[in-house]
Amino acid sequence: MEYLVYARKYRPKTFEDMIGQKAVVQTLQNAIKNNRVAQAYLFSGMRGVGKTTAARILAKALNCVQGPTPTPCNVCESCREIDDDRSIDVLEIDGASNRGIDDIRSLRESVKYKALRSRTKIIYIDEVHQITKDGFNALLKTLEEPPPNTVFIFATTEFNKVPATIVSRCQHFEFKRVSQREIRNHLNGIAGKEGLTISDYGLGLIAQASDGSIRDAQSLLDQSVSFCGDAIGDPELQEILGVINRALFFEFSTAVAEEKADAVFALTDRVIETGHDLRHFYKELIRHFRDLLLVRTVEDPKNLLPFGAEDMTGLKTEAAKASAEEWLRWLQALQNAEAGLKFAAHPQIFLETVLVRLCHFKKIVSIRDILKDVEEMKKSEGGAPEPRRPIPPPPPVMRPPDRPSDRPAPAAGPKPALKAAPTIPAAESKSPAPKALAPDEPAVPAEPATFRRDPLREMALKDPSVMLFVNKLKGRMGVVDGPVSVKDEEE
């Protein structure tokens, strides 16, 4: 039997089989059902997401002996001809090699003749954006008034290059990138039918590498079978896909989480030894930290990551080594340094520096803690009384009632005592702090989570002695560039 690559063998034959293009499929099916098929369609989207497949199914749907029907039978002569790409009434033209005005002119001539054996003549032009300006102009008139029972279907991977005059004469469908989960399920189905052995992790790797393209995923699976036979092992797959052994990433994240800066050098050395490009490694390292942050943050992350149960457990154990804030901080620092790696004269040293820095992140003190230290210092020195915590809790009632439905409106006389409320807790404060609690200043409830609106911090930063202290710290903070730099805080 003739060998067929998976992309052809498993090309969907019905609208229902199409992967990840629900909106497009539903619209096309309804159009056929309600006899509202347009004269021209434009399918746009990245490579390998089903544009040609959709065009073929539409052609079958319109020409099936049982049709027009949203569910072509796939057994009649017409359906089979279209599947085998030998129907004389379905023209598939490659826009890249038939892009000139002469090509379009001859196409225009052939359109004049109606379908020979089918109900509808289908003209499918792939990569339509490649057609020249003159070619497009020659096409306009035909597109505006196509002969009866003729349907144009254009496909493009570069929608922005299709002239507006063409777009406005077509119904436009945007084909989406297929999700990793859908690709994984699809590959799993093929593996089952073909009797292949491949791990969940392996399927995830292919799904990730295919970047949303079903065809790429199928081709990669094909390639893996050619390399490994029916049992596709993870190490072989990693080799084919140029994937770095995941254990190495885990060793890096462990070094960072456990503050083992000394481990970084040997690990970096090992990356160099594997022969992988450092920039590629760095990209994947960022992804690893992102996965850890995700696992630490999201309660049920299994749909968001391309890993099987075993790998998920490993990730969770690793993520538990630090808080979500810490993973976030590390991830941000890695991202911030990414551009630097590109221009570094010594990428290896650059990588080592970044990772050693990450190992020291846990030592970084937050501004809030610094301010606490300042307060303590002042207390012990017996310095001038300063505003201090706690910020008064929000008074029970801050505003007069909005809806004076039950109460009489305070028309005359002195205003109710509500306005004086913000000063109440001030009396209870240990030291006099009149500035902090002036009644005309809005009393902001102390929220530990938000730095920016902390009145205590803002006040403290205005104090020259605090500024002196902070400036001294700037040097220390500058060495280890954490996410809470003093500069940010001052802005």
Question: What are the residues binding Zn ion (CB under 5 A)?
Answer: 64, 72-73, 76, 79
CB 61 to Zn ion: min, Å:
9
Q: Checking phi first, is residue 382 left (phi over 0); if not, alpha (psi -120 to 50) or beta?
A: left
Angle between helices 464-479 and 367-381 (to 10 degrees): 130
* 18 vs 358 by CB, closer to Zn ion: 18
Q: Which is nearer to Zn ion, 83 or 481 (CB)?
A: 83
DSSP, res 5? -
Q: 25 or 190, CB closer to Zn ion?
A: 25
Q: 76 or 480, CB closer to Zn ion?
A: 76
CB of 155 to Zn ion, least distance (A): 23
Nearest to 27 by CA among 17, 41, 13: 41
Q: Please state the closest distance from residue 88 (CB atom) to Zn ion, in A.
A: 16
Residue 76 CB, shortest distance to Zn ion, in Å, is: 3
Task: Report how far apart, in Å, the C-alpha atoms of 64 and of each of 16, 123, 149, 364, 431 are.
Answer: 16, 16, 14, 70, 88
Minimum CB–partner distance for residue 111 and Zn ion (Å): 24
Least distance (Å) between residue 7 CB and Zn ion:
23
Least Å distance between CB 78 and Zn ion?
6
Distance CA 448, CA 454 (A): 8
Cα–Cα distance for residue pair 242/195, rounded to 1 Å: 25
DSSP 3-state of 121: strand
CA 327 distance to own-chain centroid: 18
| Length of the chain counted residue by residue | 491
CA-angle at 483, arms to 481 and 484, nearest 5°: 100
Nearer to Zn ion, 73 or 446 (CB): 73
Phi and psi at residue 487, in whole multiples of 5°? -60, -45
Question: Per DSSP, which regions of 297-414 are E strands?
Answer: none
Distance set, CA 131 to CA 41, 94, 127, 145, 391 (Å): 16, 10, 8, 20, 69
Least distance in Å: CB of 66 to Zn ion? 6
Instruction: Please state the φ and ψ torsions of residue 233, each to the nearest 5 degrees.
Output: -85, 155
Cis amide bond preceding 68, omega within 30: yes
Choose between 65 and 426: whose C-beta lies nearer to Zn ion: 65
**Closest approach of Cβ 33 to Zn ion, in Å?**
16
Catalogue the long-range contacts made by 160-168 (C-beta closer than 8 Å, 24 or more residues apart).
161/129, 162/42, 162/44, 162/128, 162/129, 163/133, 163/136, 165/136, 165/140, 166/42, 166/128, 166/136, 166/139, 166/140, 167/42
Measure the CA–CA gap between 194 and 173, rounded to whole angstroms.
33
- Provide φ and ψ at 484, rounded to 5°: -105, 75
Q: Using the minimum distance from each CB to Zn ion, give the nearer residue, 76 or 365.
A: 76
In the complex with Zn ion, which residue's Cβ is closer, 118 or 208?
118
CA nearest 256: which of 312, 313, 333? 333
Q: Is 371 exposed, middle or buried (0-12, 13-18, 19+ CB in 10 A)?
A: buried
Nearer to Zn ion, 64 or 285 (CB): 64
- Measured from the CB atom, the residue of 73 and 444 that comes closer to Zn ion is 73
Residue placing its CB nearer to Zn ion in the complex, 38 or 73: 73
> Given the complex with Zn ion, which of 60 and 357 has the nearer CB atom?
60
Order of strands, sheet of 90-94, starting from the edge strand that comes earlier in the sequence: 90-94, 121-126, 150-156, 40-44, 171-174
Q: How far is the CB of 59 from Zn ion (least distance, A)?
A: 11
- Least Å distance, CB 90 to Zn ion, is 13
Taking the complex as a whole, how short is the minimal distance between the CB of residue 62 and Zn ion, in angstroms? Answer: 10
